[in-house]
Structure 1
């Protein structure tokens, strides 16, 4: 229990540090971010004095309050998840914008990351188990694909599968002309078809890293004494591969998967931009282009919480998978 308590305390402190940094960032920006936001809001309609006050409270630039009072007020807004209106999607509140974009990214990038991890670990296990086989010789090709930039891979898939052969749509999250969002077969099928190319981009570009890492760990694990002992006992090759070799070799990949899982919420920014996919990455790029500080702060908070939460969960599971990590030295 002491191990888990220490881990939880560390992540709570890390979250507080991230929130504090999120508070001070607007103060470090050149100029007055409130004036920039109000100028953009004025282009879309009249802005009331209450709107200026709310933005000052949100960004911590209210001169009538002390720094500590502004900080406490900011933390209160964070607890209520109240970041004010978004300039990019005015007058929609930031929390509504994030709520609309978050499910798209979680489903697309989350499923793609999980599939690439499963495929890479499985193929890497087989490649390391039979070194020199055709699957082992395929690893340089997969690592070459990993070195290809996301945007180049995305553009190539769009050109081949959406322009030349017209198998999949080139952009969007669903067909806006024939379907409406909802739990209907027409919408779900349309969303799956539109997500195929972005998901393929992520999987092709990342599966090689998991495969290479797992293959190398399998090679190192197979030279351990307990593998030789298992073989001397006459255990079946399948049991040795799965219960002894793969179980120990996968531990570093699990730690790496924690980082990848945490960045699911931030999305694949370039991929979502190329495909105009309505996820968190696309919204973040729009916020940056429009100097939408409120939306940027909200997205930064969500990404931070996702990264810390994913790492905490996997860190705790890592202690269950490998009891050696809980031993105090």
Structure 2
């Protein structure tokens, strides 16, 4: 063997002169040997951006109710029909942080002080209960129903879209117009159709609520079966309406990815179609879907207000509607704050996952 071969075989130990990188492996090979590089600079920049966004959202959340006509105390006083004294009204304004005698900047600082101590205020529409307790009682219902339905629709729609894109021009293309049409139907309209067919006519599922009256909530078979049966129609409504977007988005991305050179090379090497589909094509096509999925997860907290109205489901969306009708600004602010936090956290997680899965994103750190 020549000296060049010996050098290339033991270059790290015997020779310190520059060597052509093609003799010792590509950059991709080195990166694979090092493992996944965590893009700390990219993550730090995104976190700083989201911290600023959180401050701006909380500030807007503070000022918008105070710029609206009327407030929760005035609405409560009107419903009490003059039974409360002016002193009681002043005490309520101090309690809700809307006392006009206190400067606006002081109210803003007091609002931040309350948030930092985990105090979201008092809800006037729920019998003066703490806002945190009101949200905590409604949030699990929305997370359980809308969250599970969103995950199911994402998984089914993404997998179906990948297969349809891989077999473009085949019989599976018929699902595209069907799912797209179903996606244009409003939640409330499809929910009413499901109630008319599966509840009123067939009697398979209950028409509304989370469980029957008289059933004690708890981890028992009776209560769990009630929750599952009552949540079947709302979940089916969400899955059917949102499925079309996932299918169409994944299918379009698959059509773009399948024209890439690395797909052609993988097929030319004789790799099985299933491996090329899921390990190469779908893995790259799903990246934009992750960002959309993160946004969908963030908006789970807000629930589907119209859907919860149709099915009288005790989620966060119905709670927000009741708070809006009662001008319960403290509860509205608490729900908006939880919504903003959910969206920001979901986007941060999506950015981190995107940066880890896509090497091109990690190059922004260099």
TM-score range, shorter chain: over 0.9
Q: For residues 33 and 85 of structure 1, what CA distance do their matches in structure 2 show?
A: 11
Q: 2:11 maps to which residue?
A: none
Q: 1:312 maps to which residue?
A: 348
CA contact (8 A) 1:214 1:249 kept: yes
1:109 paired to 2:156:
no
CA 1:185/1:55 → structure 2, altered by over 3 Å: closer, same or farther? Answer: farther
Residue number among 153, 167, 186 corresponding to 2:222 in the alignment:
186
How far does the alpha carbon of each residue in 1:145-182 deviate from its partner, in whole angstroms, 9 at most, with x for none? 000111110000000000000100000011122x2111
CA 1:26/1:236 → structure 2, altered by over 3 Å: closer, same or farther? Answer: same
Q: 2:269 maps to which residue?
A: 233
CA 1:57/1:69 → structure 2, altered by over 3 Å: closer, same or farther? Answer: farther
Q: 1:288 maps to which residue?
A: 324
CA 1:256/1:165 → structure 2, altered by over 3 Å: closer, same or farther? Answer: same
Q: 2:313 maps to which residue?
A: 277
CA contact (8 A) 2:187 2:237 kept: yes
Q: 1:12 maps to which residue?
A: 51
CA contact (8 A) 1:108 1:195 kept: yes
Q: For residues 106 and 29 of structure 1, what CA distance do their matches in structure 2 show?
A: 30
Q: 1:223 maps to which residue?
A: 259
Post-superposition shift, 1:94? 1.7
CA 1:45/1:269 → structure 2, altered by over 3 Å: closer, same or farther? Answer: farther
SS of match in other structure, 1:325: helix
Larger Rg: 2
Unaligned runs of 5+ in 1: none
1:27 paired to 2:66:
yes
Q: For residues 327 and 55 of structure 1, what CA distance do their matches in structure 2 show?
A: 53
Q: Which moved more, 1:72-81 or 1:29-38?
A: 29-38
Post-superposition shift, 1:66? 2.9
CA 1:43/1:268 → structure 2, altered by over 3 Å: closer, same or farther? Answer: farther
Q: For residues 47 and 302 of structure 1, what CA distance do their matches in structure 2 show?
A: 34
| Displaced runs of 4 or more, over 6 A | none
Q: Which moved more, 1:20-29 or 1:118-127?
A: 20-29
Q: 1:247 maps to which residue?
A: 283
1:207 paired to 2:246:
no
CA contact (8 A) 1:37 1:292 kept: no
1:85 paired to 2:122:
yes
Q: 2:199 maps to which residue?
A: 162
SS of match in other structure, 2:55: helix
Unaligned runs of 5+ in 2: 1-39
TM-score (norm 1): 0.93
Post-superposition shift, 1:46? 5.4
Q: For residues 72 and 136 of structure 2, what CA distance do their matches in structure 1 show?
A: 24
CA 1:58/1:6 → structure 2, altered by over 3 Å: closer, same or farther? Answer: farther
Aligned residues: 326
Q: For residues 48 and 188 of structure 1, what CA distance do their matches in structure 2 show?
A: 48
Residue number among 89, 93, 106 corresponding to 1:69 in the alignment:
106
SS of match in other structure, 1:299: helix
CA 1:16/1:246 → structure 2, altered by over 3 Å: closer, same or farther? Answer: same
Q: For residues 62 and 37 of structure 1, what CA distance do their matches in structure 2 show?
A: 15
1:36 paired to 2:75:
yes
Q: For residues 101 and 82 of structure 2, what CA distance do their matches in structure 1 show?
A: 28
